[in-house]
Amino acid sequence: MRAMILERPGQPLRPADIPAPKPSAGEIRIQVRACAVCRTDLHVVDGELPNPKLPLVPGHEIVGRVVENGPGARRFQTGDRVGVPWLGWTCGGCVFCRGGRENLCDSARFTGYTLDGGYAEFTVADERFCFSIPENYSDAEAAPLLCAGLIGYRSLAKTGEAKRLGIYGFGAAGHIVAQIARFRGRQIFVFTRRGDAEAQQFARSLGAAWAGDSETALPGKLDAAIIFAPVGKLVPQALKAVAKGGTVVCGGIHMSDLPSFPYELLWQERTLCSVANLTRRDGEEFFAIAPRVPVRATVQTFPLAEANEALARLRSGRLQGAAVLLP
């Protein structure tokens, strides 16, 4: 099968023809129809996340059709359309798994990082961690929902009942979260890199009450903020922007170092927290609400062989919405 392979972090992916994987017990073999390109893929490829499986097929926002069931795999039938997310396996027995926090499992395995992913024509996945995809989404539209949607949804949940919500970074996750937040009656304020008029207009087109650069002070305070941009210096800026008792959520898996900041920015019961991975419950809740909004992912499609170009555009901020590879 055709695949794009990471052989060493910091190097471009290499096109290759490799054997198609076979499903083990409890796994399904999937013909990949679409795989979105996530900023986490960029962190893996650029070496910002340590110890990936090597060589590696990246990609963890996978939509495809089941073509083979491994021994004991009965949840899906041949021909079913499924989605494969970042969380690929957990032990089920540790204190986190037993306590409903499988996203923190010490032994967890991750699609496109410690397990081969979807930058290929076929992949295999543990059927327990796959999702059925609502039929009103095309393959390309559904792919970004598997991480940008799920992590965005988990980040939004951390903001509680916040009415005035700031979003720092308006890429794949930001534009999906904004739609759910607006559906729930929140006011959205979007912060982008300086001079990014296109992203700001995109945010306004999705109902943002305000959109501007990240260093601009708003009139009034936010109730909460979510930071999707992997830029540590945004943390004190967001803390300064939220009101007393407000929450700042860091929604990425990697961020540059946080600068020092005065305690007064955190004082008065402001909360700073991160979001790690996802749970299967997040997926079930998200795919129940997404068609009701309805969430619409803005995508730019690329052939599988152009994965490096898609990653380069994401790295430089030359994308609106999400990039999606079509094998």
Q: In this structure, what token pair is assigned to residue 76?
A: 């899906």
Q: In this structure, what token pair is assigned to residue 236?
A: 């004190």
One DSSP character per residue, 66-122 reads: EEEE-TT--SS-TT-EEEE-SEEE--S-SHHHHTT-GGG-TT-EEBTTTB--SSBSE
Residues 163, 260, single domain; the answer is yes
Residues 126, 179, single domain; the answer is no
pLDDT at position 228? 97
**Which of 232, 252, 274 is the last residue before a domain boundary?**
274
Domain count along the chain: 2
Question: What is the C-alpha separation between 158 and 251, in angstroms, rounded?
Answer: 10
pTM over 0.85: yes
Residue by residue, what is the 3-state secondary structure of 132-163?
Answer: ECCCCCCHHHHHHHHCHHHHHHHHHHCCCCCC
Range of the domain at 172: 150-274
Nearest CA to 324 out of 11, 283, 314 is that of 314
pLDDT at position 214? 83
Q: How many CA atoms lie within 13 A of 227 on its CB side?
A: 27
Residues 114, 205, single domain; the answer is no
Q: Which residues of the chain have pLDDT under 70?
A: none
Residues 174, 82, single domain; the answer is no
Here the CATH number for the domain that contains residue 253 is: 3.40.50.720
**Which of 258, 274, 290 is the last residue before a domain boundary?**
274
Question: What is the C-alpha separation between 121 and 78, in angstroms, rounded?
Answer: 16
pLDDT at position 47? 96
Residues 298, 265, single domain; the answer is no
Residues 6, 125, single domain; the answer is yes
Residues 12, 160, single domain; the answer is no
Is 289 in a helix, a strand, or coil? helix
Q: In this structure, what token pair is assigned to residue 71?
A: 């021994």
Residues 137, 197, single domain; the answer is no
Residues 142, 282, single domain; the answer is yes
Residues 186, 97, single domain; the answer is no
pLDDT at position 181? 97
Question: What is the C-alpha separation between 242 and 220, in angstroms, rounded?
Answer: 9
Q: In this structure, what token pair is assigned to residue 222?
A: 């936010």
Quick one: CA torsion of 113, 119, 122, 127, rounded to 10 degrees? 40
- From the number of C-beta atoms within 10 Å of its C-beta (0-12, 13-18, 19+), residue 220 rates as exposed
Residues 135, 284, single domain; the answer is yes
Nearest CA to 174 out of 279, 252, 63 is that of 252
Cβ-based neighbours of 38, under 8 Å, separated by 6 or more: 60, 61, 86, 144, 147, 148, 172, 322
One DSSP character per residue, 154-206 reads: HHHHTTTT-SEEEEE--SHHHHHHHHHHHHTT-EEEEEESTT-HHHHHHHHHT
pLDDT at position 116? 98
Residues 140, 12, single domain; the answer is yes
One DSSP character per residue, 216-280 reads: PPPSS-EEEEEE-S--TTHHHHHHHHEEEEEEEEE-SS--PPPPP--GGGTTTT-EEEE--S--H
Here the CATH number for the domain that contains residue 44 is: 3.90.180.10
pLDDT at position 111? 98
